């Protein structure tokens, strides 16, 4: 697949479940352009094992994303009815009750295809998809800025859960760069020293931080 970094986030208008229990028609990320950053992440399936740990972890830190002017939106290839059922199942029974951010139903799999995260091999003939393998979404995550441009992406294989702290760190880095114009070096965290985009600044940083 080709990277989506620096490109407009692929548009879609699809069904979703919002606020943990409400069906929404024509849900789109376009509503956040000019207003919020978006962390848009894909997961394979409802009612699985690694997936609830991720969705609940994002919910647990949702207030931190909101404080950073960022919304969280999830997506999988399940139907809106499957999402609704999972959202209304108690956590001690394998559910994710209490998750409040939107979950998009990519039942056609076209969103996953356009973001380059659909697992397995597939071809399209006469607008019909033919699959080899398991056609679910890989664990893709995309940080989309307020102009609707993708600034960060990471895609994990199905068994490998993601770090919510790393997603927050990348939001901090994007916000810092947008506000200050400086660039963020390796392992940068909010409050740490950043760099001007010059050779002198890099040399000074490396000298100051050498072991």
Q: What class, spelled out in words, does domain 14-162 have in CATH?
A: alpha beta
| Res 195 pLDDT > 80 | no
Single out the residue of 44, 24, 40 nearest to residue 32, CA to CA: 40
Work out the end-to-end distance of the chain between its first and last CA atoms, rounded to an integer number of angstroms.
38
Q: Report CA-CA distances (Å) from 102 to 35, 105, 108, 189, 208.
A: 17, 10, 18, 28, 44
- Pick the residue with more confidence: 210 or 198? 210
Q: Report CA-CA distances (Å) from 115 to 107, 112, 188, 190.
A: 14, 5, 27, 29
Extents of the domains making up the chain: 14-162
Q: For the segment 36-63, what is each residue's pLDDT rounded down to a tens digit?
A: 999 999 999 999 999 999 999 999 999 9
| Res 71 pLDDT > 90 | yes
Residue 56 has which token pair? Answer: 């609940």
Rounded CA separation 200/130 (Å): 54
Q: What is the pTM of this model?
A: 0.89
- Residue pair 207/195 in contact by the 8 Å Cβ criterion: no
201: confidence class by pLDDT, cuts 50, 70, 90: very low
Q: Which active-site residues does the annotation give?
A: 51
């Amino acid at each position: 697949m080709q990277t989506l970094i620096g490109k407009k986030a692929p548009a879609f208008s699809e069904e979703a479940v919002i606020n943990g229990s409400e069906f929404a028609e024509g849900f789109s990320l376009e509503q956040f352009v000019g207003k919020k950053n978006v962390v848009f992440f894909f997961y394979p399936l409802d009612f699985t094992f690694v997936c609830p740990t991720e969705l609940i972890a994002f919910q647990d830190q949702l207030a931190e994303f909101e404080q950073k002017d960022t919304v969280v939106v999830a997506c999988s290839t399940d139907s809106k009815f499957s999402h609704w059922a999972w959202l209304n199942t108690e956590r001690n029974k394998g559910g994710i009750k209490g998750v409040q951010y939107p979950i998009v139903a990519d039942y056609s799999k076209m969103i996953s295809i356009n973001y380059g995260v659909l697992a397995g091999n597939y071809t399209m003939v006469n607008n019909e998809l033919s699959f080899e393998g398991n056609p679910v979404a890989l664990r893709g995550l995309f940080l989309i800025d307020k102009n609707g441009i993708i600034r960060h992406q990471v895609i994990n294989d199905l068994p490998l859960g993601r770090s919510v702290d790393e997603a927050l760190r990348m939001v901090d880095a994007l916000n810092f760069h947008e506000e200050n114009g400086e660039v963020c070096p390796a392992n940068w965290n909010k409050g740490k020293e950043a760099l001007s985009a010059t050779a002198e600044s890099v040399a000074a940083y490396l000298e100051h931080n050498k072991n």
